[in-house]
Structure 1
Amino acid sequence: MPGKSPATKKIVVSEAGKETDRRLDQHESYEFGGPWGVTAVMIGFPLLMYYLWICLWFYDGQLVYPNSTADVSPFLARMWAHICEDANPSVYAWQVYGGNIIFQLFLAWVMPGYQQEGLPVPSLNYKTLMYNCNALYSLYATMITAATLHYTNTFRLTEILDNFGHLMSVAMICGFTTSFGVYFWAIASGSQMRMSGSFIYDVFMGAILNPRIGHIDLKMWAEVRIPWVIVFFFAVSGGCKQYETLGYITPNMAFMILATWLYLNACAKAEECIPQTWDMYHEKWGFMIIFWNFAGVPFSYIYSIVYMARQDPSKYQFSTPTYVVLFATLLTAYYIWDSSMSQKSRFKMQTQGITTFRNTFPQVPWCIIENPTYIQTAHGNRLLTSGWWAYSRKPNYVADWVMSFCWGAVIGTATPIPYFYSVFFIVVLVHRVGRDFERCSVKYGKDWEQYCQVVPYKFIPGVY
């Protein structure tokens, strides 16, 4: 049934809703092609990451391949030689990558933070967990520390990009070992849930929902402190490298520094919104999330930076109007993404009775909806129909994808590899939407049908 403010009246899940939640909290069918599909992903994606890096690093961003059947073996031998020589997990790479992991854990442990209550978790009998949101303090402590190390020549930031291949291998090893380690930890502690019975599938999807070390929620910690910190410092490393070799930073590299900082700062300054997301209250912490946070995001989203750091700027320079359009598109998409994410998360907080919100920089206009409209479901939850969410069921996904496209478009047509992020991302988003909407259809029934009539477009209003 339709509803309007006050949304601050706390939701109460009905008995029928709890029964539906119990069903959805069980393994009923395989996703991602089942055990064989996830095995292919776990093997294939790291190999693809190595291949695209080799093309960027040694072949000027051109996609290389065997010219004939007879050339397959020599081609594979060359690929393997590149990995062994320039992407081996060196001691230096372990020190840098491992040092960052330890430092981020230390900051998460000691930095003061904003205490945020998460959503009721069905698998925990609707218990709510508390989250210590100190990513913002940790971010600025990291930036100050990095600047100090750089300017004292203790650790030059240019060295991050110089060791890209070595760091990527270490990140992959950490992603695999953490995934399997957390799986066995869950089994040993008896905290596994929603298991399929297939070992490799359960490692991929995860066995545990909210693993913690003290007050540190590892899943939320890894979602912000690892991938986006590394992504940002790769951009900074690229800027430092250009400044040292060219005497200036190109507008294209400046664009990536701004873009990565906006994303990282948004995740840190609105960390209290993360507990309200699907990743936190439903997705388990398995290879799908762990490897992506440890290696996938930081080493496959920033191919444009890798390309620019090793190529002459004349290969990817634009006219001034093109730069204006590029920056304007990024900032517009960022605004829609930031505000729509805030609207949805704070609406969910309102349904928990939370009316006081954190004020961090920058709080963009229209980030909180006054007197929101919504559909009150028989389940007990509410479906937002105000703000950006009145026009699209996933406005945040659309804006997020536009930003990802800009991260590739910043080098124009010099090489197709930096567009991997946006191509891969749209596949992930479409698949994720399918999973989400199927779950909502089961969970809300006729109320979901009514919601789809009120908000008919999945992504782009008037289009799709």
Structure 2
Amino acid sequence: MTVDEKEKVNANGVPLFKHTVTKLDADMDKEVIYEFGGPVGVCAMMLGFPCLMYYFWICLEYHQGKLITPQSYSIQGLQSFVYNGLIHKVITGAFPHWQAVKIYMGFVLYSAICAYSLPGPIVEGLGLPSLKGKKLKYCCNGLPFWYLTLALSAILHYTGVFRLTQIADNIGSIMSVAIIWGFTMTTLVYVIASVMGKRHRMSGNFFYDFFMGAVLNPRVGPVDLKMWAETRVPWPILFFISVSCALKQYETKGYISAPAAFMVLAHFLYVNSMQKAEECIITSWDIFYEKDGFMLIFWNMAGVPFTYCLSSIYILKYEQATGLTISHSLPYTIFLYTLLLVGYYIFDTGNAQKNRFRMEQNGSFMTRLAFPQLPWGHLKNPTFIRTEHGNLLLTSGWWGIARKPHYTADLMMSISWGLITGFGSFLPYFYFCFFVCVLTHRVSRDMERCAKKYGKDWDRYCERVPYIFIPYVF
């Protein structure tokens, strides 16, 4: 990197220079570190995730959200619980019938066609060490996809061609199709990448590599499968599950309760944020570093939409089983709506600040017309620490207050998803508990990598921004 390149800045005062791939970048990109307990741990997760999803579904579908346990822990009691209590209910209530296949795979195919064909700005990603600094191009057509999907869904529902309530009516079977597709797509991506010789950062252990993935950026024409799977499938499905539950309530009660409307709003905000700022996701860790394996594919295809929806399903199933509507006092309801909206504001603007700062360095910054464009989403004349490595560490905005403000915001929103349902079941709080574990792991993983990559500059950054989640607390 030359002196002239360092001195180049954009109109916002952010250095604009060519990022060269250093030997350290290349070495770290090739480094294999066993995570999640290594091969044994990932095998447990690949088997455990689907089982846990079915268990939660059974608790909601048949037991009003109560966590069921065997009546007896004898061999016969356990066999009866597993075969008669669990497996039988999955086979009879969650069989992947043709209607469920049409609903789920129809949307997957539709979203893929939209990603391939709709117009959108072309944005460059970060330079990839595995490609000697080459930047891949991404067609960011998430906004037209999202608006088109909202319009088509409304038309299909009100004309009766496809009533959105069918999603809630067939939720167990649709989930089964999603689980099957998650394993199928993972296998296809892994096999095709291996056949084409595009494997990257392999450990040599099949199960671990199947979980983490074999290929970094699988593509079909202009469509990056990793970005498509992360933005176009899980979150819209999650939103429509909540919409379906609310519409089901409206059909039976003649109104939509505050908790049901809350979940529709919460999931709309999340998916809308992702689509309107799709160009920012390109610089994220998942796109830049993570490979496309079971961890990302299954979780996006099945895990996100069918575990993050537990609050919405619980509200519906509780009402169907008891005839009672979950309601809260006005002050409590206002508090939760406020908690959700404040959390969303920090989440949206925090992610925007970070990724737009990265885009400015990358020379790919752009302004798009999308709703809502929240104030403080783009920092003017941001402060930063310049590292010897060449990267800039942002110390302005939310990122001058904490190192992971978007994680704090995520936790604020996720706890509100549980609190809006009351305290009758643990299941609406699973997302929050799960997220605490996931984000804690991500933080420790990120801190170790940054300390190794930036050395003394990382120490300077930690002194400047000492708190990770909450200022003066942690």
Sort the TM-score into its range (normalised by shorter chain): over 0.9
Q: Bigger relative contact order, structure 1 or 2, given CA contacts below 8 A and separation 6+?
A: 1
**Residue 241 of structure 2 aligns with which residue?**
234
Confirm or deny: 8 A CA contact 1:8 1:352 kept in the other structure: no
**Residue 10 of structure 1 aligns with which residue?**
16
The separation in 2 between residues aligned to 1:79 and 1:11, in whole angstroms, is 58
Counterpart residue type for residue 438 of structure 2: V
The separation in 2 between residues aligned to 1:37 and 1:10, in whole angstroms, is 42
In the TM superposition, what whole-angstrom CA distance separates every residue of 1:118-172 from its partner, at most 9, and x where no partner exists?
1111111111111111111111111111111111111111110111110111100
1:23: Cα distance to partner? 1.4
Judging changes above 3 Å, is the alpha-carbon distance between structure 1 residues 102 and 354 closer, same or farther for their aligned structure 2 residues?
closer
The separation in 2 between residues aligned to 1:416 and 1:36, in whole angstroms, is 28
In the TM superposition, what whole-angstrom CA distance separates every residue of 1:4-39 from its partner, at most 9, and x where no partner exists?
98653323446xx61111111113321111111100
Tell me which of 248, 258, 263 is aligned to 1:251.
258
The separation in 2 between residues aligned to 1:195 and 1:437, in whole angstroms, is 23
**Residue 102 of structure 2 aligns with which residue?**
95
**Residue 62 of structure 1 aligns with which residue?**
66
1:388 matched to 2:398: yes
1:196 matched to 2:224: no
**Residue 278 of structure 1 aligns with which residue?**
285
Tell me which of 24, 44, 48 is aligned to 2:52.
48
The separation in 1 between residues aligned to 2:26 and 2:364, in whole angstroms, is 26
In the TM superposition, what whole-angstrom CA distance separates every residue of 1:186-233 from its partner, at most 9, and x where no partner exists?
111111110000111011001111111111111111111110010000
The separation in 1 between residues aligned to 2:448 and 2:222, in whole angstroms, is 34
The separation in 2 between residues aligned to 1:253 and 1:50, in whole angstroms, is 23
1:356: Cα distance to partner? 3.7
Confirm or deny: 8 A CA contact 1:7 1:350 kept in the other structure: no
**Residue 335 of structure 1 aligns with which residue?**
345
Confirm or deny: 8 A CA contact 1:11 1:381 kept in the other structure: no
SS at match of 1:69: coil
1:419 matched to 2:429: yes
The separation in 1 between residues aligned to 2:206 and 2:50, in whole angstroms, is 20
Confirm or deny: 8 A CA contact 2:178 2:302 kept in the other structure: yes
SS at match of 2:64: coil
1:37 matched to 2:41: yes
1:73 matched to 2:86: no
Counterpart residue type for residue 209 of structure 2: D
The separation in 2 between residues aligned to 1:244 and 1:202, in whole angstroms, is 47
SS at match of 1:177: helix
The separation in 2 between residues aligned to 1:335 and 1:178, in whole angstroms, is 34
The separation in 2 between residues aligned to 1:27 and 1:184, in whole angstroms, is 22
1:357: Cα distance to partner? 2.2
Which structure 1 segments of 5+ residues have no match?
none
RMSD (CA atoms): 1.5
> What is the count of residue pairs matched by the alignment?
460
In the TM superposition, what whole-angstrom CA distance separates every residue of 1:333-379 from its partner, at most 9, and x where no partner exists?
00000000000000001112345422311110000000111111111
Tell me which of 430, 447, 453 is aligned to 2:463.
453
Confirm or deny: 8 A CA contact 1:337 1:395 kept in the other structure: yes
1:66: Cα distance to partner? 0.9
- Could you state the TM-score of these two structures normalised by the residue count of structure 1? 0.97
The separation in 2 between residues aligned to 1:201 and 1:126, in whole angstroms, is 27
SS at match of 1:131: strand
Counterpart residue type for residue 18 of structure 1: T
For structure 1, which segment, 86-95 or 25-34, has the greater mean C-alpha deviation from structure 2 after superposition? 25-34
**Residue 19 of structure 1 aligns with which residue?**
23
Tell me which of 378, 384, 391 is aligned to 1:368.
378
Confirm or deny: 8 A CA contact 1:401 1:425 kept in the other structure: yes
Counterpart residue type for residue 73 of structure 1: Q
Confirm or deny: 8 A CA contact 2:36 2:42 kept in the other structure: yes
The separation in 2 between residues aligned to 1:279 and 1:423, in whole angstroms, is 22
In the TM superposition, what whole-angstrom CA distance separates every residue of 1:390-446 from its partner, at most 9, and x where no partner exists?
010000011011111111111010211110001001100000111111111111111
1:309: Cα distance to partner? 1.3
**Residue 447 of structure 2 aligns with which residue?**
437
For structure 1, which segment, 225-234 or 121-130, has the greater mean C-alpha deviation from structure 2 after superposition? 121-130
Tell me which of 147, 151, 158 is aligned to 1:151.
158
Counterpart residue type for residue 10 of structure 1: L
Tell me which of 112, 119, 122 is aligned to 2:119.
112
Confirm or deny: 8 A CA contact 1:171 1:294 kept in the other structure: yes
Moved over 4 A (4+): 3-7
1:268: Cα distance to partner? 0.3
1:89: Cα distance to partner? 1.1
The separation in 2 between residues aligned to 1:392 and 1:29, in whole angstroms, is 27
SS at match of 2:385: strand
1:209 matched to 2:216: yes
Confirm or deny: 8 A CA contact 1:335 1:364 kept in the other structure: yes
Counterpart residue type for residue 365 of structure 1: P
1:106: Cα distance to partner? 1.2
The separation in 2 between residues aligned to 1:245 and 1:13, in whole angstroms, is 58
SS at match of 2:15: coil
**Residue 4 of structure 2 aligns with which residue?**
none
Counterpart residue type for residue 179 of structure 2: M
**Residue 345 of structure 1 aligns with which residue?**
355
Counterpart residue type for residue 432 of structure 1: R
Confirm or deny: 8 A CA contact 2:242 2:267 kept in the other structure: yes
The separation in 2 between residues aligned to 1:355 and 1:76, in whole angstroms, is 54
Percent identity (aligned) = 49
1:328: Cα distance to partner? 0.5
